[in-house]
Amino acid sequence: MAIQPLQQGSNAERSRHRNRKAVLGQVRAAGTMGRAEIARALALTTQTVSNIIAELSEDGMLLEKGRLSAGRGLPAIQYGLNPEGGYALGIEVRPDAVFAALLDLQGQAVVTERVALDDNTPAAVLGLTQAIYGRMLAQVPAATNRMLGVGIVMPGPFGVTGIAGMGTDLTGWQEVDAAALFEDALDLPVVLSNDANAAAMAERISGVGQGIASFAYLYFGAGLGLGLVHGGQLVRGAFGNAGEIGHIPVNGAKLEDGLSRLSVQRHMAAAGKDARDIDALEALFQSGDADLMAWLSGACETLGHAMTIVENMFDPQTVILGGAMPDVILDYLVQNTALPVVSVSNKADLPHDRLVRGASGRMTATLGAAALILNNALSTPLAQAH
């Protein structure tokens, strides 16, 4: 989380490292590719790509996928990711539970676990996490020597700020260096993030955000969060707390007062209905519950405000909506929200819809935690614009 040295020099070894990642990223994005094709995309020579591919195949990260004849010339041998070539662990620490997922290099969840927590102190969580990790490796022995790292999602904001977030619900975590603790406990490289950022990465790696370099992700957590991806990388802000959109006031109320899990729950509770569970919410929606529909109408309006802010601040290619809500409700919101007219995104011939539903479902943030690691393994910081 600390701010890194602003610049780092380059040498042969670091170039190679970078180029390996670039090749993997390119192949992943395209599904399969030939050497020459990759070389053109990366502005490298075929020979270089050949060397790197030999190395990556040796390491088990790439697989031959036959030859593809495209016009004249020798048909190119196609290469694709070997899903079993690398694994990333995602851990989501909630106040009352720990979710975990093991993703393969392709971004597929191989094993997932959800464990309830009655003690969320660091010692307890770390012990539980170790146990989960052990069980997962036992189920997927191939992963043992191929772990790329672990992504940890914890409720933000990080550090003591003016926002009393869920952070207060995790006892004993405020003062500790969580990343260091997990690194010690699991002996893996660690990336720490909040839920919205992780969710955005989940979409980038295996959802709607694939191939989109700049997008924003509006996340239904307890509150309303925002993950920002620019040039293929997360924009985290100086202290890792960028995207706390829920606390922005519009017309006297905070955005998340009208658009969040807590918001529906309160609204429905006031009508004497229980909407704490996702399935309960879905059932209410399916039955056309009048109270829920009333809430949705307000939520659409609030979402419109949020869109205005996000689009005008970031000018993203698209905004993805997801998180702890049933898909049907997310779809309803996407379809019934009037997109802002006064917006830099309001223009003709857009290649993407301005607002779309996320694809990664209920465990988005957990998957995203692992996706943070995959993204590191498959992409290099963006080349400079000229």
- Residues of span 299-328 touching a copy of itself by CB under 8 A: 305, 308-309, 312-317
Is residue 8 within the footprint of DNA (CB under 7 A)?
Answer: no
Is residue 380 within the footprint of a copy of itself (CB under 8 A)?
Answer: yes
Q: Number of residues interacting with a copy of itself: please give it, by CB under 8 A.
A: 85
- Residue number, 138 or 382, with CB nearest to a copy of itself: 382
**Token pair belonging to 247:** 């606390």
Among DNA, a copy of itself, none, what does residue 248 contact (CB within 5–8 Å per kind)? a copy of itself
Is residue 50 within the footprint of DNA (CB under 7 A)?
Answer: yes
Among a copy of itself, DNA, none, what does residue 287 contact (CB within 5–8 Å per kind)? none
Is residue 37 within the footprint of DNA (CB under 7 A)?
Answer: yes
Distance CA 135, CA 122 (A): 20
Is residue 15 within the footprint of DNA (CB under 7 A)?
Answer: yes
Q: Number of residues interacting with DNA: please give it, by CB under 7 A.
A: 30
Among DNA, a copy of itself, none, what does residue 197 contact (CB within 5–8 Å per kind)? none
Stretch that binds DNA, among 4-12, 179-187, 195-203, 376-384 (CB under 7 A): 4-12
- Residue number, 51 or 57, with CB nearest to a copy of itself: 51
Query: Which position has the token pair 């003062």?
Result: 175
Label the pairing between strands 87-94 and 97-104. antiparallel
Distance CA 261, CA 277 (A): 10
Stretch that binds DNA, among 50-58, 192-200, 211-219, 328-336 (CB under 7 A): 50-58
Is residue 250 within the footprint of a copy of itself (CB under 8 A)?
Answer: yes
Count of CB atoms within 10 A of residue 70's CB? 10
- Residue number, 45 or 297, with CB nearest to DNA: 45
Task: Write down the least CB distance from residue 278 to a copy of itself, Å.
Answer: 27
Task: Write down the least CB distance from residue 372 to DNA, Å.
Answer: 25
Label the pairing between strands 87-94 and 147-153. parallel
Q: What is the DSSP string of 249-269?
A: EETTEEHHHHSSHHHHHHHHH
Distance CA 257, CA 241 (A): 20
Burial letters 180-205, b for 16+ CB under 10 A, else e: ebbbebbebbbbbbbbbbbbbbbbbb
Q: Are the C-beta atoms of 311 and 341 separated by less than 8 Å?
A: no
- Residue number, 22 or 98, with CB nearest to a copy of itself: 22
Among 1, 21, 30, 36, which residue interacts with DNA (rule: CB under 7 A)?
Answer: 36
Is residue 210 within the footprint of DNA (CB under 7 A)?
Answer: no
Question: Binders of a copy of itself among 33-92, rule CB under 8 A?
Answer: 41-44, 48
Q: What is the DSSP string of 132-145?
A: HHHHHHHH-GGGTT
Q: CB under 8 Å to 318, separation ≥6 — which residues?
A: 208, 209, 212, 215, 216, 352, 353, 354, 355, 356
Is residue 243 within the footprint of a copy of itself (CB under 8 A)?
Answer: yes
How many secondary structure helices (H) and strands (E) does the chain include?
12, 15
Is residue 27 within the footprint of DNA (CB under 7 A)?
Answer: no
Task: Write down the least CB distance from residue 88 to DNA, Å.
Answer: 24
Is residue 139 within the footprint of DNA (CB under 7 A)?
Answer: no
Is residue 298 within the footprint of a copy of itself (CB under 8 A)?
Answer: no
Is residue 341 within the footprint of DNA (CB under 7 A)?
Answer: no
Q: How does DSSP classify residue 62? A: E
- Distance separating the N- and C-terminal Cα atoms of the chain: 29
Is residue 232 within the footprint of a copy of itself (CB under 8 A)?
Answer: yes
83 prior amide bond cis, ω within 30: no
- Please report, as ranges, the residues that interact with DNA according to CB under 7 A: 9-13, 15-16, 19, 34-37, 43-48, 50-52, 67, 69, 71-77
